[in-house]
A = this chain, B = another copy of it.
């Protein structure tokens, strides 16, 4: 730390570290805690260093968004692997991922996504693009009203997880999941 000039350069590692730290900070202390100072310090980098990787704060949030969307995409793709029914496959994967998020260890880190998303009108736009791309991609298999409905419900459940507003028992939760999956097949 004292002599960081000498230490090995590992830009990709540092960049990753910055994103991780930013996610963790926002999770633990709210989005307000994500300041350039706090993030850089927690990542063991100077503020100048942070600003080298992300030219401004918006770029940092963008990077965070990209990272999280990428994880989301991967999770969905993974969930689609083991499903050989075409109809509603994407929707079922979406359901699976959304319902699993609260249990998952690093799933908590996702929460920052929405917060930033809602706070930053700019990210709202990017999310819209994601939805549009996916809707287009799976138009032939997942565009039925029932699939749409199921995905909306998943969003609702995910929001409830985020806000911790509903106290489910696991059985009800599982039942909901089953019912929604059934909807995706009709």
A45 at the interface (CB under 8 A from B): no
Say which residue of B145, B155, B172 sits within 8 Å of A156 (CB atoms): B155
Beta-carbon contact of B120 and A118 below 8 Å:
no
Beta-carbon contact of A30 and B156 below 8 Å:
no
Beta-carbon contact of B120 and A163 below 8 Å:
no
Beta-carbon contact of B149 and A152 below 8 Å:
no
Could you say which interface size class chain A belongs to?
35 or more
A114 to B121, CA, bound (A): 14
A124 at the interface (CB under 8 A from B): yes
CB contacts (< 8 Å) of A135 on chain B: these are 166
Q: 8 Å CB contacts to B: which residues of A112-143? A: 114-115, 117-121, 124, 127-128, 131-132, 135
Beta-carbon contact of A31 and B119 below 8 Å:
yes
Q: What does DSSP make chain A's interface, helix, strand, loop or mixed?
A: helix
A32 at the interface (CB under 8 A from B): yes
Beta-carbon contact of A165 and B127 below 8 Å:
yes
CB contacts (< 8 Å) of A146 on chain B: these are 179
Assuming the contacts A119-B115, A166-B131, asked whether A159 and B155 have C-beta atoms less than 8 A apart, the reply is: yes
| Binary contact track A35-57/B, C-beta < 8 Å → 1, others 0 | 00000000000000000000000
A170 at the interface (CB under 8 A from B): no
